[in-house]
Each structure stands twice: as structure tokens, then as C-alpha cells.
Structure 1
């Protein structure tokens, strides 16, 4: 039984990580075509990627978009979760359902809906328009994570702070937010991960300023390009670093 479990685990993780391992391996291929036999290691294609103005601009746009939209989604999700958890609002269950509804809707539908809306109100395709789309898809996730961590014990501490003379804004910033920092960091890093490699909404809502996933798609339209392996490895590396940072920040042991 144990042997079957080991075999299953090997096949399971191999199915998930083998394509990524092949991509990273052939990103160090020294020849023009990323095919066996392996000829390397070489940093030739990483140098070509970093020397490509469009790719570096797309990389910078991806980083800026991920950081800004994740911060906005986390802030808005935190305020929405705090308001719905601490105040008795009419139809609060309906409001929670509407906030989390985009989680069940395809990104293609959301992107097309935003595209039609922006065309109607005269908002041009741009990185800012794509940023609005990223906030729309990440806000429900941030709200769900933060709202799930708001308990009654925190409400008691907040009430004690008010009894000691703290204003509502001080309670929110100096009491509630520090107590919820693991949830806030989790929401922020997960939103960054999703925003970092989001393609559909960015493709629909941008024109000249594009992100790295859109630039990768543009490269693949012209055929097999060895630089795509290096770009994919960089994207994978950033995602791994974000996951490690999240693990360190959210799950590190506090000193006794």
C-alpha cells in the first residue's frame, strides 16, 4: 500500500512539475532550437530577453500592475470585510454574495464585459484599464480571505480599544489591521500571483502598453522562439519567489 502511495505521489508531482522542469531546462539551451539533445548550459537567451526592449517593458508593466492592483484589491477587500463583519447592514448576505460572485465567472466574460463598458463610457484601452480588470478579479479573493479571519475575539479587542478612547480610524489601523496581518499578506501575495500571469483580461483591455504574458503570446504567434523558454522560466521564478515570500511572512513561527 505504501509503495502504491509513493508511485502515485511520483506520478502526480511529475505530471504537475515535469513541463515546468523541461521549460526551465531548455531555457539554458545554447542552440537556436529548444529541442534534444541538450546543449548547454548557456545564458544566451536570458541575455536576449533582457536586451529586448519590448520584453523588459512588458516585465516592468507586469510588476507594476501586479503590485498596484494587488494593493488596491487587498485594501478594498479589507474595508469591505471589516464593514460587513462589524456592522449589521441590510441584505448583508446578498452583498457578500455579489462581492464574491466574480470568482464563479469566467475571466473571458469579465474581460469582454469590461471592454464593452469601457467602450460605452469612452475609456481607452490602456494599462490602467487592465488594472481595473485585475482589481475586479482579485477583490473577491481578497475579501473572502480577510472576511474568513474576522472573529468575535477580535471584535472584543476592538471594543476595548474604543472604550479606552481610540477613534474608529485608530481602531481600524492600529488594532484590526495588525491582528489580521497574516490574512492581509495572504490576500496580497495571492492577488499578486494571479495578476502577475493574467493574460485574457490584459489582452482585451490593453493596446500598446502590454504585460509580459501578452508579449509572450505575441512571440508565439510568429512560431517557435527560444526566448520564450527563458521568459517562461523568469515568470515561473517570480511566481516561486512570491510563494516563498508568502510562506515566510504568513507562516513563520513567532518567538515565544
Structure 2
């Protein structure tokens, strides 16, 4: 029987790389994205390899999510996997300088959007049972604070705790829950965070040999294809060039 995976935020970065990796393995795909042209082009390309159903929508829109999921074609209705990839960071300035709208957008996307897709698709994943997997894309920012992470880090800490709590609630259903926590990754994600500032983007990755979206896709594919009795609770990964910084100390004497 063909396996089906639902991937949010599939028009770039990790989501697009996952779509390509799972299509290569013959999985059927349900792909979501806000950018219609990109989504249609990706669906057209991957439909040469497998069955693909595209949904142009924003995960923040609960009503649109409900309607789209409730009206999935029968051939895509039974899911083996959900990859909650849609998410973003906006800005890296200190908290006093941040735009409150950016904070709200991160909460609505990284927390609420993930909640909507998870809750709405749970019945389908439970119906599949043994071997079904919810894969949440967290971040090392949910584990370690750094200047400018504030709300973004807070949303990813939610993803980690939500994933652990889901495991408790789903015990006995056969549905697995994993949280992948990448460090420095090179993708359009950072260009969005820096509001399209290419120079700042380039400086972030210069000489770092950062993780690539294809690396994350391969890791996610491995997690979701483990034997059905194994659950990878969380998996944190960084490029070799990245490590934890020491504690910051203000030596101005004004604190």
C-alpha cells in the first residue's frame, strides 16, 4: 500500500527538500504552501514521480485548514506521516527594538499553525495506526537562548514540549511523535528572517559549511522509516562548525 505524507510549508527550504525526498521513495504527497506559483510548479514536477495533491493555504488560517483537510480526496485521506515544517523567524534585533507584529506572526505560524494541522490530522494518523508519524520541526533555539531569539526561541520551545506531551496522549495508538532540532542551516528561512538582506544572509553562512535542506530531509526520512516499534523522541543536529557559546557577561558596571 502506498504511504502518504502531509507536508506543510512545502514551497521552499526543508519542506521542498522533504517533498523531493519522499517523492523519490514513492510516497504520495499532500503539500501546502502560501505561494501558488511555486506550489503548482513543484506539484507538476513531482507528479511525474508520484501522486501529489497541492493545497494553497496559510497554516495560520484555521478555517481554510479545516476546509482543505476535511475535503482531501479519498486517495490522500489515510496518512502515514505529517511533517509540521511551516514556520519562520522574523528579525534578530534585541527585544526592545522588535516589531510586535513580527512576534505575533511567529506565534501564529510556529505555534498555532502547528496546532491546527496536528489536531485536524490526528484522526487520520490514528486511523493508520502503527507506524504513523508526526514529525515536528523545532530548533536548537528552543533549547539554547541567544541574543535576538526571544519569541522565535520561545515558539520552538513550545514545539519541543508539545511533541513530548503528544507522545503521552497518543500512547497505545501506534502513532509516533518526533521533534527534530536543527542548528545552523542554509536556506531561504534566513533570507526571510533578515527581510531579504542578501549581504547579511551571506555573512551568516560564510565559511560555516552549514547544514543543507537536503540533509534535514534525509534525516526526517530516516526518522519516519524506523521500525514501527521505535520512536525517535527528539534529534538535535548542528554543523560541525557550530557549538555552544559561553555565558555572556556585561562588564560595563552599569547592570
TM-score class normalised by the smaller sequence: under 0.3
- Greater strand share, 1 or 2? 2
Q: Which is greater in Rg? A: 1
More contact order relative to length (CA 8 Å, sep ≥ 6): 1
TM-score (normalizing by structure 2): 0.26
TM-score (normalizing by structure 1): 0.26
